Chain A
Amino acid sequence: MNSIGKTTAVALGAALMLAGPARADLTIGFSAPLSGPVAAVGQDQYDGFMLGIETLGGKLGGQKVTVLREDDQLKPELGNQIARKFVDHDKVDAVVGLGFSNVLMASLPRLVESGTVAIATNAGPSVLAGARCASNVFSVAWQNDGSAEAMGKYAQDAGYKRVYLMAPNYQAGKDFIGGFKRFYRGEILDEVYTAVGQPDYSAEIAQLQAADPEAVFVFYPGGMGVNFVKQFSQAGLAGRIPLLSAFTVDGTTLPSLREAALGTVSGAMWDVGLDTPGNAEFIAAFTAKYGRAPSAYAAVAYDAARLLDLAFARAGGDRTALAAAVKAAGAELKSVRGPFHFGSNNMPVQNYYAFETVKQGGKVTPRKIGTPLAGHADAYAAQCAM
C-alpha cells in the first residue's frame, strides 16, 4: 500500500470513528452550563457524573453507556434547544443535568411531552415540585428551598432573636428568603434584595452593621457570594455577627475565599465534611482524578450516575418502565449524602446539614455541626397532583 493509500485509510478510519462512536447500549444526554460565569458548577457536575460512571466500570445497569455532553451557557433558550436535540435527534435513554432553574424550566415542556426520563442535578424549582410536577422528571439534588429552610431552623434552634436577610432580587433569592422564614419564628430586622450580579455590597453591609442583628442569613450563589463574604469579613464583621448562608460558601467558592469564610455556617445536603458511608471514597477518588476537592454539585451528579445504574438494572430493556424504576431506585440508592429517597413529587427527601467553615491542620474546610432538618420533604408536595 502506498503512503497516499495509507493516509486515506487512516483518514477514513478516523472519519468512521467520528461518525459513529463504538456502538453503546445506552445513551445519556448530559447538559450543564459549561461556559460562562457559572462554568465551575457545570464542570463539577460533569466530572462527578463521569466519575460515577467510571467507578461502575463504564456501565449503567450492566449496559455500556455513551454520554453526550451539551453546554447550555445558562441560556434558557438553549436549554430548550438541547432538550429537543436529546429527545428528538439523539433519542437518548435519559437526560441528566439540566442546569439552573431557569434553564430547567425552559427544557421542561419538551421533556414532559416526550416522557424521556430527566434527572436534574442542580435544581428543584418550586413550580416543578408543585403544580407542574411530572412523573418522568426528577431532581436528585434538592428542592431549592431546602438549604434555606435548614438555616431558618438552625437560626431558630440557636436562639437568634433578631436576624437580617439578604439575597439577589430574583426568583431564587425570594424563594430562599421565603424558605428561611418558613422555619424561623424570631424577629426579622430587614429583608434586603440587591441587584443580580452586583459586585459591591459595601453600602448594604454598612446598613446591616447599623441594624445590629444577632445573625445574618444570605443567599449569594457563585461570584456574588465571593464578593459578599469577602467584603463582610473585611468590614470586620466576621466573628462579630454570625453569618448563615446557602449556596454561598460551598465547594466552588471556598478555594477563593479561604480565611475570609472562617466561622460562616452553611446549610447544605452535602459537603466534604460529611462522614457518611462511601463519602470518603468518593472524595478521595474525585480528588485523585481531578486534582481538586469535589463540591455538592459533583456529589449530586455522582449520585445521579449510581441512581441510573440501579434504575436501568431494574427496568431492564423496558424504557417505559424507567421512570418508575428511577423512583424505586431512589430508595435503594446508597447516596454519599446519607439517607435519601424520592418524595411523591419526585423531589428528594433527605437530610439538610449545617456546616461551619473551620481551619483544620492549616486547611480551611467545612465541618458538620448539626442536622437541622432530617428526612426533610419540601413544602410544595401537596400541590403536586401525582
Chain B
Amino acid sequence: MTTIRPSTLIPLLLLAALAVLPFAAESYYTAFFARVLIYAVAASALNLALGMGGMVSLGHALFLGLGMYSVALPAHFGIDDGWLQLALCVAACGLVGLVTGAISLRTSGIAFIMITLAFAQMGYFLVVSLKQFGGDDGLPIAGASRFFGLELASAEAVYGAAFCLLLALTAWVARLRVSPFGMTLRAGRQNARRVASVGLALPRYQLAAYVLSAVLCGLAGMLLANLNAYASPSSMSWMVSGELIVMVVLGGMGSVFGPLLGALAFLGIEELLKGLTEHWMAIFGLLILAVALLGKSGIAGLLARLDARVPARRSPRLAEGRA
C-alpha cells in the first residue's frame, strides 16, 4: 500500500468537505459553492483543451453561453424536459465546437487565441441583438430543467448535480491523462513535430479534445442557467473566457484537481477581497500577475512541492506516474 500524498490527500479532503456542505450550510453558501463547482466543471472542460492539448482558447465562454441558452430557449417555449435540453446542448456545443475548432486549429499560438476570441465575440454580438429572446437583458427561466423525477429548481439540487458531474469528470480526466488519447495530446503540447513523426494525426486528437471540451463546458452552462434561473449574454463576454483561463492556470494546468482548486481560489479570493475594499480588483490583478510570474504549476504544483517533504516509501518517480 502506498501512502496518500498531500497533493492527492488535500483535494480529496476538500471534495469530502464539499460533499457534506449542503447538509451543514445554509442555502446561501450552498448556492455560492454550487457556483464554484459549476465553474470548476467549466474549468475542467477548458483544462482538456488548454492543460492537456495546449490549445489556449480565449473563447470558451461561448460554450458556457450555448449551454445556458440550451436551457433558457426551450424553457422560454415551455419545454422543461432536461434530456431534450441536454441533447440540444450537446448538439449545439458539439457542432459549434467542431466548426470553430476545425477552423481555429489551422492556426496556432497567438492566432489561435485570437480566432477563438473572435468566434466567441460573434456569438456574444449575435445573442445581444436577439431582441425576442431578451437580448442584453437576458432571458429569465420560469421552469427548471427536469430529468425524470429530478428537478434542478433549488440551489441544493443544482449543487448535487454539479458535484456529481465534477466528481465523474475528475475521475474520468485522471484516467484520460494516462490513456493513449491523453498521452498523445500531452505529447503534442510539448512537441507537435515528434508526435507527427511517430505517425499520429495530432490535429484530429486536438479537434476531438476541443469538441469534448466544448460540450463539457456547455454542461456547466446548463447548470449555471438552472442555478440562476436566468441566462444572460454577459456570461459569453471575453472577460469570462479570460477568467476561466485564470482558474485553470491558478489551479495548475493539466492537473487532475487543478480546475477545482483554481475555481475555488478564484471565486473565494474575489469574495474575500470584495469584503475588504471596493478597489479589490487592483489587488486581484496584481495577484494574477504574481501567479503568472511565479510559474504555471499553480496550486496543484504547490501541493506537489509539499509531497517532497513527506517521506514516501516508494520511489517518488513511480508515485508521480500515478498522480
C-alpha spacing A354/B117, complex, angstroms: 43
Instruction: Pick out which of these stretches binds chain A: B77-85, B98-106, B124-132, B313-321.
Output: B124-132
Within 8 A of A (CB), among B4-36: 26-29, 31-32, 35
When A71-B278, A81-B35, A132-B140 are in contact, do A76 and B230 touch as well, CB less than 8 Å? yes
C-alpha spacing A193/B135, complex, angstroms: 13
Asked whether any CB of chain A lies closer than 8 Å to the CB of B134, the reply is: yes
Q: Which 10 A-B pairs have the closest CB atoms?
A: A170-B136, A89-B28, A88-B28, A171-B135, A171-B137, A109-B229, A76-B232, A88-B27, A106-B230, A80-B228
Asked whether any CB of chain A lies closer than 8 Å to the CB of B258, the reply is: no
Give min CB distance, A122 to chain B, whole Å: 14
Contact: A109 with B278, CB < 8 Å?
A: no
Give min CB distance, A60 to chain B, whole Å: 24
Within 8 A of B (CB), among A153-176: 169-172, 174
Contact: B234 with A75, CB < 8 Å?
A: yes
Asked whether any CB of chain B lies closer than 8 Å to the CB of A369, the reply is: no
Contacts of B131 in A (CB 8 A): 171, 174
Give min CB distance, A143 to chain B, whole Å: 14
Mark interface residues in A189-217 (1 if CB within 8 Å of B CB, else 0). 00001011000000000000000000000
C-alpha spacing A35/B239, complex, angstroms: 15
Contact: A71 with B274, CB < 8 Å?
A: yes
Contact of A35 among B234, B235, B281 (CB under 8 A): B281
Contact of B136 among A71, A84, A102, A108 (CB under 8 A): A102
C-alpha spacing A193/B130, complex, angstroms: 13
Contact: A125 with B230, CB < 8 Å?
A: no
Contacts of A84 in B (CB 8 A): 27-28, 31-32, 155
Besides the known contacts A77-B232, A84-B32, 19 further A-B residue pairs in the complex with CB atoms under 8 A apart: A35-B278, A35-B279, A35-B281, A71-B274, A76-B228, A76-B235, A80-B227, A80-B228, A84-B31, A87-B28, A88-B26, A88-B31, A89-B26, A109-B228, A169-B128, A170-B129, A170-B136, A174-B135, A195-B125
Of all chain A residues, which has the CB nearest B274?
A71
C-alpha spacing A34/B277, complex, angstroms: 11
Asked whether any CB of chain B lies closer than 8 Å to the CB of A85, the reply is: yes
C-alpha spacing A87/B224, complex, angstroms: 20
Within 8 A of B (CB), among A102-117: 102, 105-106, 108-109
Within 8 A of B (CB), among A72-130: 74-77, 80-81, 84-85, 87-89, 101-102, 105-106, 108-109, 125, 127
Asked whether any CB of chain A lies closer than 8 Å to the CB of B252, the reply is: no
Contacts of B227 in A (CB 8 A): 80
Within 8 A of B (CB), among A273-287: none
Mark interface residues in A28-39 (1 if CB within 8 Å of B CB, else 0). 000000110000
Contacts of A108 in B (CB 8 A): 140
Asked whether any CB of chain A lies closer than 8 Å to the CB of B254, the reply is: no
Q: Which residues of A contact B (CB under 8 A)?
A: 34-35, 70-71, 74-77, 80-81, 84-85, 87-89, 101-102, 105-106, 108-109, 125, 127, 132, 169-172, 174, 193, 195-196
C-alpha spacing A289/B131, complex, angstroms: 42
Contact: A105 with B137, CB < 8 Å?
A: yes
When A170-B128, A171-B131 are in contact, do A106 and B26 touch as well, CB less than 8 Å? no
Give min CB distance, B130 to chain A, whole Å: 9
Name A's interface SS. Answer: helix
Give min CB distance, A249 to chain B, whole Å: 22
Asked whether any CB of chain A lies closer than 8 Å to the CB of B138, the reply is: yes
C-alpha spacing A174/B136, complex, angstroms: 11
Contacts of A81 in B (CB 8 A): 31-32, 35
Give min CB distance, B240 to chain A, whole Å: 9
Q: Which of A77, A88, A105, A196 has the most CB of B within 10 A?
A: A77
Give min CB distance, A170 to chain B, whole Å: 3
Within 8 A of A (CB), among B123-162: 125, 128-129, 131, 134-138, 140, 155
Contacts of B138 in A (CB 8 A): 76, 102, 105-106
C-alpha spacing A137/B278, complex, angstroms: 27
Contacts of A132 in B (CB 8 A): 140
Give min CB distance, B145 to chain A, whole Å: 14
Within 8 A of A (CB), among B215-234: 224, 227-230, 232, 234
C-alpha spacing A85/B279, complex, angstroms: 21
Contacts of B136 in A (CB 8 A): 102, 170-172, 196
Give min CB distance, A354 to chain B, whole Å: 27
Contacts of B129 in A (CB 8 A): 169-170, 193
Contacts of A75 in B (CB 8 A): 234
Contacts of A193 in B (CB 8 A): 129
Within 8 A of A (CB), among B180-236: 224, 227-230, 232, 234-235
C-alpha spacing A172/B131, complex, angstroms: 10
Contact: A85 with B140, CB < 8 Å?
A: no
Instruction: Provide 22 A-B residue pairs closer than 8 Å at the C-beta atoms, listed in order of the A residue.
Output: A35-B279, A71-B274, A76-B228, A76-B235, A77-B224, A81-B32, A84-B27, A84-B28, A84-B31, A84-B155, A85-B32, A88-B27, A89-B28, A102-B136, A102-B138, A105-B138, A132-B140, A169-B129, A170-B135, A170-B137, A171-B135, A171-B136
Give min CB distance, A80 to chain B, whole Å: 4
C-alpha spacing A89/B29, complex, angstroms: 8
Contacts of B235 in A (CB 8 A): 76-77
Contacts of B26 in A (CB 8 A): 88-89
Contact: A106 with B278, CB < 8 Å?
A: no
C-alpha spacing A169/B125, complex, angstroms: 9
Mark interface residues in B55-74 (1 if CB within 8 Å of A CB, else 0). 00000000000000000000
C-alpha spacing A125/B230, complex, angstroms: 15
Contacts of A88 in B (CB 8 A): 26-28, 31
Contacts of A109 in B (CB 8 A): 140, 228-230
C-alpha spacing A34/B281, complex, angstroms: 11
Mark interface residues in B282-321 (1 if CB within 8 Å of A CB, else 0). 0000000000000000000000000000000000000000
